[in-house]
Chain A
Amino acid sequence: MTNEQIREEVLDILEVIAPDEDLSQLDDAVNFRDQLELDSMDFLDIVMELRKRHRIQIPEDDYVNLASMSSTVEFLEPLLKDVEKV
């Protein structure tokens, strides 16, 4: 997946987790927590959705990397670069 595809994938996951959110205005540099009112349960869901879709394991210590869109994409890049976008 390219970084652009990874971003789309994360957006898709956010849409599943928070269907009522308007994601079109998402600022990639700002924390999800601040702009989407996500709580710790939602962050677990991002991790679990990634695992369900792409069989990647993210240890709890790495959850901090999922704070914003840009940090998430950066963190996922090496994990997903060889994975085909479905």
Chain B
Amino acid sequence: MYDTIIIGAGMSGLAAGIRLAYYEQRVCILERHTTIGGLNSFYRMRGRDYDVGLHALTNITPKGTKQGPLARLLRQLRMSWDDLQISPQLGSEIVFPGVHLRFSNELELLRTEVGREFPHQRENFDRLINEIVEYDDLDESHQEISARKRLAEILTEPLLVEMLFCPLMFYGSAREHDMDWGQFSIMFRSIFMEGLGRPHAGVRLILKHLVRKFRGLGGELKLRAGVKRLAVEKGCVSRVELENGEVLEGRRILSSAGWCETMRMCDDGAPVSQRSSGRLSFCETIASLDVEPQDLGHRSTITFFNDSEEFAWTKPDVPCDVRSGVVCSPNNFDYGQSLGDGTMRITTLANQDHWNGLDEHDYRLEKLRWYDRITDSAVRFVPDFRSRVVDTDMFTPSTIVRFTGHDNGAVYGSPEKQFDGRTHLDNLFVCGTDQGFVGIVGSILSGISMANQHCLRD
């Protein structure tokens, strides 16, 4: 009998596992896939290392900072700032037609840029910052106010509103067209007020660190251990049945599989709530270059682009919506050493129905076709790197489904979150994307706080 069984060895599951194992629980993490990480993972192909998911860590505050999500995470996992080996971004940008806002890990740069491009919004922007500083992320009552409505009350220039939404939605909005004010405030802080960073070795460093810590504390990790069914008796999960036939028992179950996905595992026939799975998914192209992006004049860490005055954040009718996107160059962090190969990653919204419905032959062809379209769109906003490409790869919503098991390949899960992590069963809780926090720091904190609230106090 385990004290806690955790479903999913992504960031949230591993973090929860560390907390519980540290306090001497018998913990087992079940991972369906052959490797850890879930949405944030890594692989090696044709001699090159690739990251999936991670563009940059958000919430990066300098070493020694005592407050904020990163400091809290490090304390809770008994890790030191140096363990993550984070290098700060060189600087990022939001590019719309004729307007260009740069930002860095110093909020002052964005303030200056807003003042330069939108002189009449200078004071309004400061008002917005004050509102966000004052937003209490532990008070859930304001969480669901429309951020669009709130922003329209503060900023009177619609283009600036669109430009601020673009990065925040790309990096964490499960809701279409709009965000909850709470989520907006949290994302604004994590990206514009704290900042972006990345370890030189990428996401593998973070994952390996977490898994080593978990195992070092006596935690058990089972790979290729997909959950087939959660057997329910008297309002509790009594057994966990794996796809390989194994049956496990745990006093509690903490699932990072997603809300709807977890509900479907329960065999009590209770109707899955009306809540919808998310619909927003991505395609991402990855190009390896024989030069560093900076040699082509590209110094931006992340470039968020949109080719019209309005930013559309919705499931596209076409396979990929190339009107907007995110260009990430993992080379452009302040590592103090070269990354070797140059890399350009481009992310756009994608329509999962299209990608999931293709047979293998067409899927391959469509990947080639859309690789080109996505790249053609992006080089309108960054230097044309196409003649320096030595290798490419691409993921689609189908890839995300395969690695995360999340319905529709919904990267940020369901638009409706379960902030308290509770379910209709007394000993079943959810953590991860559908609990409420997104991003790497957010997912780790989700695992920590759900473990603390539901699995430690008895």
* B452: interface (CB < 8 Å): yes
* B456: interface (CB < 8 Å): yes
Q: Which residue of A lies closest to B65 (CB)?
A: A20
* A42: interface (CB < 8 Å): yes
* B23: interface (CB < 8 Å): yes
Could you write out 21 A-B pairs with CB less than 8 Å apart?
A16-B78, A17-B75, A18-B75, A19-B80, A20-B64, A21-B66, A37-B66, A37-B67, A39-B72, A41-B72, A41-B76, A41-B448, A41-B452, A42-B75, A44-B457, A45-B76, A48-B23, A51-B23, A52-B23, A52-B24, A60-B457
Chain B residues, Cβ within 8 Å of A42: 75
Indicate the member of B24, B66, B72, B80 with the most A CB atoms within 10 Å.
Answer: B66
* B281: interface (CB < 8 Å): no
Chain B residues, Cβ within 8 Å of A18: 66, 75
CB distance from A39 to the nearest CB of B (A): 7
Chain A residues, Cβ within 8 Å of B23: 48, 51-52
CB-CB contacts of A34-70 with B at 8 A, as 1s and 0s? 0001010110110010011000000010000000000
Chain B residues, Cβ within 8 Å of A48: 23, 456
Chain A residues, Cβ within 8 Å of B75: 17-19, 41-42, 45
Chain A contact residues, majority secondary structure? helix
User: Bound state CA distance, A45 and B24, in angstroms?
Assistant: 13
Indicate the member of A21, A39, A42 with the most B CB atoms within 10 Å.
Answer: A39
Chain B residues, Cβ within 8 Å of A19: 75, 80
Chain B residues, Cβ within 8 Å of A37: 66-67
Chain B residues, Cβ within 8 Å of A16: 78
Give B residues with C-beta under 8 Å from A: 23-24, 64, 66-67, 72, 75-76, 78, 80, 448-449, 452, 456-457
Q: Count the A residues whose beta carbon is within 8 Å of the partner chain — how many?
A: 16
CB distance from A40 to the nearest CB of B (A): 9
User: Bound state CA distance, A62 and B66, in angstroms?
Assistant: 26
User: Bound state CA distance, A20 and B81, in angstroms?
Assistant: 10
Indicate the member of A18, A21, A37, A45 with the most B CB atoms within 10 Å.
Answer: A45
User: Bound state CA distance, A16 and B80, in angstroms?
Assistant: 11
Chain A residues, Cβ within 8 Å of B76: 41, 45
User: Bound state CA distance, A25 and B72, in angstroms?
Assistant: 22
Chain A residues, Cβ within 8 Å of B449: 41
Q: Which residue of B lies closest to A16 (CB)?
A: B78
CB distance from B244 to the nearest CB of A (A): 34
Q: Which residue of A lies closest to B452 (CB)?
A: A44
Known: A39-B72, A44-B456. 7 other contacts (CB 8 A): A20-B66, A44-B452, A45-B75, A48-B456, A52-B23, A52-B24, A60-B457
Chain A residues, Cβ within 8 Å of B24: 52
CB distance from B45 to the nearest CB of A (A): 39
CB distance from B226 to the nearest CB of A (A): 32
User: Bound state CA distance, A41 and B75, in angstroms?
Assistant: 9
User: Bound state CA distance, A24 and B240, in angstroms?
Assistant: 49
Q: Which residue of B lies closest to A37 (CB)?
A: B66
CB-CB contacts of A1-41 with B at 8 A, as 1s and 0s? 00000000000000011111100000000000000010101
Chain B residues, Cβ within 8 Å of A41: 72, 75-76, 448-449, 452
Q: Which residue of A lies closest to B457 (CB)?
A: A60
User: A68-84: which residues lie under 8 A (CB-CB) from chain B?
Assistant: none
